[in-house]
C-alpha cells in the first residue's frame, strides 16, 4: 500500500484489441454489432464499461476499495486507439486504519480528446 497524497496524479495507458472486445462481449453479454463487426478500418467500438476498466485497474494498483464510481462517457473508443488515463487524488483524509479519498479521472485518446471522465470515492486500508 502506498499512501495517497492530495494532488498526486497517476497515469495508465492501454490500447484495446479486437480480441479484448470479443472476450468482454462474451463475458458481459454486450455483443451488439458495433462491438463485433469491424468497420471499414478493421476496428470495433470498445464497450463503455470495458473502457471503464482503465480507472478500475489504476484503483487495483493502489489497493483501493471503491465505494462510489461515477462514469461519464464523452465519445467512443475504438480498438487500436491508445487511451491514457490520469487519476488525481482531490481529497485524502487519514484515519487510524485507512485513508479516505476522492479522485477525478480523465481518459483521453491519442488526439488528446476526452473519451471518459470519472469520479471515485473510496478507501485504502493501511498495512496491518
The residues spanned by each domain of the chain are 9-16+45-125
Q: What's the average model confidence in pLDDT over 68-80?
A: 97
Q: What's the average model confidence in pLDDT over 68-87?
A: 97
User: Does the pLDDT at position 70 exceed 60?
Assistant: yes
Beta strands in the chain (DSSP E): 9-15, 64-73, 82-94, 98-108, 114-125
Residue with the three cell numbers 476499495: 65
User: Does the pLDDT at position 80 exceed 80?
Assistant: yes
Q: What is the pLDDT of residue 56?
A: 93
74, 114 Cβ separation under 8 angstroms: yes
The CATH number assigned to the domain with range 9-16+45-125 reads 3.10.129.10
For residue 19, give the H/E element and its range: helix 18-28
pLDDT class of 127 with cuts at 50, 70, 90: confident
State the pTM of this model.
0.92
Amino acid at each position: 500500500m502506498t499512501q495517497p497524497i492530495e494532488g498526486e496524479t497517476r497515469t495508465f495507458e492501454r490500447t484495446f484489441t479486437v480480441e479484448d472486445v470479443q472476450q468482454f462481449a462474451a463475458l458481459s453479454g454486450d455483443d451488439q454489432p458495433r462491438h463485433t463487426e469491424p468497420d471499414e478500418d478493421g476496428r470495433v467500438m470498445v464497450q463503455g464499461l470495458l473502457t471503464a476498466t482503465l480507472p478500475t485497474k489504476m484503483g487495483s494498483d493502489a489497493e483501493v476499495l471503491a465505494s462510489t464510481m461515477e462514469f461519464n462517457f464523452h465519445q467512443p473508443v475504438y480498438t487500436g486507439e491508445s487511451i491514457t488515463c490520469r487519476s488525481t487524488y482531490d481529497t485524502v483524509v487519514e484515519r487510524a486504519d485507512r485513508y479516505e479519498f476522492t479522485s477525478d479521472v480523465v481518459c483521453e485518446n491519442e488526439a488528446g480528446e476526452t473519451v471518459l471522465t470519472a469520479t471515485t470515492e473510496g478507501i485504502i486500508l493501511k498495512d496491518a
